[in-house]
Amino acid sequence: MKIKNNNLLSVDKYIEEALYNKEFGYYMNKNPFGKNGDFITAPNISILFSEMIAIWIVSFWEHLKCPKKFNLIELGAGNGEMIKILIKTFNQFPKFKSACKVSILEKSNLLKKIQNKNIKDKNVKWLKNLNEINNLPSIFIANEFFDALPIKQFIKKKGKWYERYIKFTKLKKPEYVDLLFNMKQFEKQIKFNISHKQKFIEYSQSMINYFETITKKIKFSDGGILIIDYGYLNKKIKNTLQAVSNHKYTDVLDSFGKSDITYNLNFYMIKQMIKKFGSFNSITTTQKNFLTKLGILQRAEIISKNMPFTKKADIYFRIKRLINKSAMGNLFKVMLITNKNNKFQLGF
C-alpha cells in the first residue's frame, strides 16, 4: 500500500504494513536475527536452550503415550536455528524421530529461504496456514511468535473509550491520534469483556484467531502449545508497544518498515481468553524456572567439564543471559496450554 498525506491507520494496520507488507515490510525484506541484525533470540544465544526444548518435547510425547505419528509445528522459526538443534537432538531418540513430522509456519518468504538453508532437512515441511495440519496429535512451539503479531490499542479518557490511530503527514513524522470507539459493540463482537477494570488495552485479533485454530486441534487430536515470550502476569493491561533496531529500543513511529515492532504479552489475559474456546489447562512460569527445572545448568556442567576456561566461561555467560533475573530470566514467561485432562507439568 502507498501511504498518502493525512492517511490514518489503526495501530494494528500500521504494524501489519510495517512488518509484513510484501514490498517494504520489515520481516519480508530483512534477516533481523543475530549480531548483524536487530536482535538475538534465545536459540541464537545458546544451543542449550534448544536442547532443553527438545528434551521437553520428547517428554511431552511420552506423556501422550508415544503416538506412532504426531505433528511438531514451530510458529515463526526465525532463522531456523531452533529447529536445526531440535532435529539434531531428536536423532538420539530413534523411536521418537520416526514418529515426528516437523512443520514450520512462516509468513516471510525471505525467512523461509534462510530457514531452509540452515536446517537442511528434506523432511521439514513449510505450512501456508494451520488448516493444512492433519488430525494427528500436535505439539506447537511458539518462541517469540505472538509478540510480532499486530495489535490494536484502546485508551479510556474521561469515561470514554478511544482507539489509537497513526496519522501520516508530509511535513512531520507520523503522530498518534485517538478516535472515539464503541467498546460495548466491540466486546459483543469478540465475545469477551476485555474492558473490565481497564484503562488501557492491547488486543491482537490475529493472536486470538491462532488460539482458536490451535485449541481446536488440541481439543480433537490432543497435544498442546508451548509459548515462550516476553510478557507479564498482571490483570491490568499496560501500554507495552515498542520498536527495536540495531539491538536498541527506538521510536515506534520512526523508520517505518525498517525496525521491529513488538509488545509484551499479557499472559493473564491469554488464560482468560482461551476459556471461550473450551476447557483447557494453562500453566505459566518464568523462563528461568523452566530452563533450570529442565536441567540446563547440569547440561552445561557435563559438556564443559573438560573444556578450557574461556570456552566454559562463554557457555555460562550465555546461560546467564537466558536465566538471569536482570536479563531474560524473569522478563520471558513460558506458558503451556493442553486439554483439561492433560496434567503434564515438566518445567513448571
- Whichever domain contains 124, its CATH number is 3.40.50.12710
Answer yes or no: is 188 within a domain.
Answer: yes
- Residue type at 27? Y
Residue-wise pLDDT for 35-46, tens only, equals 666 678 999 999
Residue-wise pLDDT for 115-138, tens only, equals 999 998 989 999 999 999 999 999
Domain that holds residue 105: 8-339
Residue-wise pLDDT for 170-182, tens only, equals 766 889 999 999 9
Answer yes or no: is 3 within a domain.
Answer: no
Answer yes or no: is 348 within a domain.
Answer: no
Please, what's the b/e burial string for 300-336 (b: 16 or more CB within 10 A of its CB; e: otherwise)? beeebeeeeeeebeebeebbebbbeeeebbbbbbbbb
Query: What was the pLDDT predicted at 147?
Result: 95
Answer yes or no: is 283 within a domain.
Answer: yes
Query: What was the pLDDT predicted at 260?
Result: 87
Q: Give the residue from 94, 17, 33, 45 showing the smallest Cα distance to 244.
A: 33
pTM greater than 0.85? yes
Instruction: Say yes or no to pLDDT of 304 above 60.
Output: yes
**Whole-number average pLDDT of the chain:** 93
Q: How many CB atoms lie within 10 A of CB 298?
A: 9
Query: What was the pLDDT predicted at 31?
Result: 74
Answer yes or no: is 345 within a domain.
Answer: no
DSSP letter assigned to residue 274: G
Answer yes or no: is 346 within a domain.
Answer: no
Q: How many separate domains does the chain show?
A: 1
